Amino acid sequence: MRLDKYLCSSTEYTRAMAKRAIGKGQVTINDQTVTNPATKVDDQAIVTLGGQTISIVGNRYILLHKPVDFICSTVDESHPSVINLVDVEKRQLLHIAGRLDADTTGLVLITDDGKWSHAITSPKRHCKKRYRAELSEAIEPPEQAQIIEQFKTGIQLNHEIGLTRPATLEFVSPFEVLLTINEGKYHQVKRMFAAIGNKVVELHREAIGAIELGDLELGDWRHLTEQEVKGLDG
């Protein structure tokens, strides 16, 4: 990696700032002052900036319990970005792997590993996602078996060609359900219930693949374990 890029990857410096620092002799590689921004930095090199050792931030894999009125965007828009809730270095490198609407709570995955996030969000991977939904209209036991079968067969969404993929629906109560889907069409959960004449009034994502939100408090976050990262990647 070029030295100027190394500085940008390990600090808040822009490329121009990195080149200026290098040109002023503020950077060393293995105790040797280097003034050429194009100098190559190998994996074992010790790099200092202004006398302080710096290193590239490795890939981050983060699980966040998203509150309402935050958006799954890397920048603030109509609502603040969920990235604001994560206290790590170089947050500007992070992106969201699988979005939730502003009014939806639950599990959000955040990373700076593009290959990993693509493996999660790619339609070809059929990654399962489990949601807990509260409905506006009760679905009583006599109807539940029929609705479960409809979701298993596939639902015809408005303005879509073909049915949704088979989904697993479980009734917690006449007003509350658990729905597991393995695709991610626009507003899919809400549209699936709208297609059967009902409405989702509250929506919460509990799991993506084998990763469970668990008892993480609303607005809190944690790093994924190595096992969790590999489980979604594979």
Helices (H), the chain: 3-10, 15-23, 114-121, 141-153, 188-195, 226-233
From 4, 76, 101, 220, active-site residue = 101
The packing angle between helices 15-23 and 3-10, to 10°, is 120
Burial of 212 (0-12, 13-18, 19+ CB in 10 A): middle
DSSP state of 40: B
What is the tally of helices (H) and strands (E) in the chain?
6, 13
Interatomic CA distance for residues 96 and 112, integer angstroms: 9
Active-site residue flag, 101: yes
Q: What are the phi and psi torsion angles at 15 (to 5°)?
A: -60, -40
Interatomic CA distance for residues 216 and 219, integer angstroms: 8
- What amino acid occupies position 22? I
The residues that are catalytic are 101
